[in-house]
Each structure stands twice: as structure tokens, then as C-alpha cells.
């Protein structure tokens, strides 16, 4: 994802208070006081890959704060040199009070790989993202 695009999105929400956070292995959704939200997701799924997101931090710790930055940080790759590779990269979500770090994972056969981390801003209900994702998968 283009770093300038992430900065544009941050500028749209930087003065808004975070009211709710939804997190599962597919995405992080940050809701704001005006019902807008942003979604952090890795939509780079290719054949023979397994992608998921983990977080050791309490994602709800950012509720009540204001989003200041989202930084994408390169990770590493581990593999057996044959058919099993595990790549990971980090997403640092910084607020005016604290931060959380996501780890996005891609397990693959060695042919595919990489990440397509996206940050999406929307002023509508989060079901829009879910229905788009489901439609893309069918």
C-alpha cells in the first residue's frame, strides 16, 4: 500500500475518537465517533497460501484515543527450502495514547508470497466491507 495513501486516510480520521475495535484473523476494523471506520486487511491471497493476522496486544486499548499513524514494517521469512514457507510483516497502529502491533502472516509453498496490506476508509457501516470481501471470494 502506498504510504502517501495511508497518510491521506490518517488525515481524515486524526481528530476523531476511536469508539470500537473489531478484530479477527482476517482484518482489523477501527470505528470512530462519527460512525466512519477504517479497515486494515491483507487482500493478497493467491493459490496455495494461508493468510491471517495476529496481535499479542489488547486491541481495545486504543478505544478512547485518536489515531495518529499506521506504519507498515517489513518482517522476515522462514522456510524449509522445499514447499513450506512462512512470511510475516508488521502493522504498527499508533494513537495519541498507545499503540498496538499486528503481525500479518502468509504461509505458502514457496512459489507465491508477499503481502497486499490495505487500509480502507469508509463512512458507512462495516457490513459494506464484509459483503465486498464475500463477493470477491465467490
CA atoms of 26 and 52, how far apart (whole Å): 6
Helices and strands, counts by H and E, the chain: 2, 8
Q: What is the pLDDT of residue 49?
A: 74
Q: What is the pLDDT of residue 57?
A: 97
Count other C-beta atoms under 10 Å from residue 91's C-beta: 22
pLDDT tens, the chain, 138 aa long: 578 888 999 999 999 999 999 999 999 999 999 999 999 998 766 677 788 999 999 999 999 999 999 999 988 878 777 778 898 999 999 999 999 999 999 888 766 777 878 899 998 654 544 544 454 554
Q: Where are the domains of the chain?
A: 3-137
Taking only Cα atoms into account, the Rg of the chain, rounded to an integer number of angstroms, comes to: 15
pTM of the model: 0.82
CA distances from 32 to 19, 24, 39, 89 (A): 5, 18, 12, 26
- Whether residue 102 contacts residue 40, with contact meaning beta carbons closer than 8 Å, is answered with yes
Amino acid at each position: 500500500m502506498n504510504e502517501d495513501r495511508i497518510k491521506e486516510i490518517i488525515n481524515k480520521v486524526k481528530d476523531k475518537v476511536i469508539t470500537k475495535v473489531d478484530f479477527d484473523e482476517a482484518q482489523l476494523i477501527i470505528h470512530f465517533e462519527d460512525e466512519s471506520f477504517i479497515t486494515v486487511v491483507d487482500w493478497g491471497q493467491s493459490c496455495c497460501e494461508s493468510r491471517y493476522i495476529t496481535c499479542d496486544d489488547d486491541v481495545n486499548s486504543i478505544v478512547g484515543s485518536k489515531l495518529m499513524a499506521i506504519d507498515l514494517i517489513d518482517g522476515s521469512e522462514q522456510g524449509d527450502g522445499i514447499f513450506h514457507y512462512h512470511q510475516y510483516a508488521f502493522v504498527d497502529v499508533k494513537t495519541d495514547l498507545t499503540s498496538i502491533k499486528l503481525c500479518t502472516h502468509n504461509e505458502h509453498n514457496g512459489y507465491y508470497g508477499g503481502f497486499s496490506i490495505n487500509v480502507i476508509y469508509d463512512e458507512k457501516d462495516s457490513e459494506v466491507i464484509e459483503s465486498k470481501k464475500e463477493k470477491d471470494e465467490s
